[in-house]
């Protein structure tokens, strides 16, 4: 079980280190920095879900985006000790709530056609699954995050069902001498986002052995995004994504 400690400090980027990327610096405000770091972790788990579906050739019944959200919650639940897991989930939910904005207004029409469920649906879904994984310990969290009363009863079942599906397809993926893992792209050490992801990569490599390597990198993308590329077997977390989270937090 892991305990989250974001090491904030002064990061010095040495000139001439060979990359022209923006280097995202976590803000000094601890709450804001934790929000960004937690959401980057939750998003990384989601993108890993896409990566696992690809390299393990997992059949997807339903929306792949929902399956990836589910894996993200499972990993938060399994890997972190309770307070840190709850903090990551809360940040993840908060990001969906902030993206959803004013829920009394109808979403933009394009949101209905998106591959992702609506932000507000994703909000309730991750809160429900996280609560359902450990209802005794998480009732107050569910109440604080305004999961409707009528929803509480079905969440343990929803979690068990989703968990059973992921467990079934992840059977036999323990790392061995013959399997591959996640690797960080070269030359990113010292970049705060890359260092954060490197810890997750090390953690995931204790759990998953893969038939192919998946590379993880931080990059300038020209858009606020994080994505998995099946053709390159790469998870990319865009600097703009972290900047967008910072703006989202500061817009409250
Ligand atoms: Zn996705």
For residue 68, the CA-to-ligand 1 centroid distance in Å is 6
For residue 73, the CA-to-ligand 1 centroid distance in Å is 13
Distance CA 252, CA 247 (A): 9
Q: Tokens for 41?
A: 């972790």
Q: What is the per-residue pLDDT across 146-176, written as a single tens digit (0 to 9) for each? A: 999 999 999 999 999 999 999 999 999 999 9
Using 70 as the pLDDT threshold, list the residues of the chain that sit under it: 1, 3-20, 103-104
Q: Is residue 18 part of a domain?
A: no
Q: So what's the pLDDT on residue 6? A: 53
Q: Is residue 214 part of a domain?
A: yes
Q: So what's the pLDDT on residue 212? A: 97
For residue 65, the CA-to-ligand 1 centroid distance in Å is 5
Q: Is residue 121 part of a domain?
A: yes
Domain that holds residue 128: 30-101+113-250
H-type alpha helices, the chain: 30-55, 64-79, 82-100, 109-113, 119-133, 135-144, 149-152, 155-170, 192-205, 239-250
Q: pTM of the entire structure?
A: 0.91
For residue 46, the CA-to-ligand 1 centroid distance in Å is 6
For residue 147, the CA-to-ligand 1 centroid distance in Å is 23
Please provide residue 81's backbone torsions phi and psi, each rounded to the nearest 5 degrees: -70, 160
Q: So what's the pLDDT on residue 13? A: 42
Q: Is residue 220 part of a domain?
A: yes
Around ion ligand 1, which residues have CB less than 5 A away?
Answer: 65, 68
Residues in Cβ contact with 214 at an 8 Å cutoff, skipping those fewer than 6 apart: 48, 51, 55, 180, 181, 182, 183, 233, 234, 235
Q: Is residue 19 part of a domain?
A: no
Q: Is residue 200 part of a domain?
A: yes
Q: Is residue 228 part of a domain?
A: yes
For residue 123, the CA-to-ligand 1 centroid distance in Å is 14
For residue 59, the CA-to-ligand 1 centroid distance in Å is 16
For residue 13, the CA-to-ligand 1 centroid distance in Å is 31
Would you tell me the crossing angle of helices 119-133 and 64-79 to the nearest 10 degrees?
Answer: 40
Q: Tokens for 65?
A: 């985006």
User: Is residue 163 within 8 Å of residue 134, measured between CB atoms?
Assistant: no
Q: Tokens for 167?
A: 């467990």
DSSP, collapsed to helix, strand or coil, labels residue 181 as coil
DSSP assignment of 82-146: HHHHHHHHHHHHHHHHHHH--TTSPPPHHHHHSSSPPHHHHHHHHHHHHHHHSHHHHHHHHHHTT
Q: Is residue 49 part of a domain?
A: yes
Q: So what's the pLDDT on residue 12? A: 39
Distance CA 115, CA 65 (A): 7
Total of domains in the chain: 1
């Amino acid at each position: 079980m892991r305990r989250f400690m974001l090491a904030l400090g002064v990061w010095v980027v040495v000139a001439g280190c060979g990359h022209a990327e923006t280097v995202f610096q976590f803000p000094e405000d601890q709450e804001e920095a934790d929000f960004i770091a937690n959401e980057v972790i939750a998003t990384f788990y989601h993108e890993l879900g896409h990566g696992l579906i690809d390299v393990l050739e997992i059949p997807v019944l339903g929306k792949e985006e929902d399956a990836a959200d589910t894996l993200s919650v499972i990993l938060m639940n399994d890997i972190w000790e309770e307070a840190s897991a709850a903090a990551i989930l809360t940040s993840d939910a908060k990001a969906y709530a902030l993206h959803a904005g004013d829920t009394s207004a109808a979403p933009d029409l394009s949101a209905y056609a998106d591959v992702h469920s609506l932000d507000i649906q994703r909000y309730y879904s991750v809160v429900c699954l996280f609560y359902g994984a450990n209802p005794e310990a998480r009732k107050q969290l569910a109440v604080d995050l305004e999961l409707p009363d009528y929803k509480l009863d079905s969440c343990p079942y929803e979690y068990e069902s989703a968990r059973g599906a992921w467990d079934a397809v992840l059977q036999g993926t323990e790392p061995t001498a013959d399997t591959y893992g996640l690797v960080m792209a070269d030359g990113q050490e010292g970049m705060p986002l890359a260092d954060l992801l490197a810890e997750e990569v090390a953690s995931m490599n204790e759990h998953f052995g893969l038939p192919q390597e998946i590379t993880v990198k931080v990059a300038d993308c020209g858009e606020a995004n994080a994505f998995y590329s099946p053709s390159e077997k790469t998870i990319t977390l865009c600097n703009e994504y972290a900047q967008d989270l910072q703006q989202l937090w500061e817009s409250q």
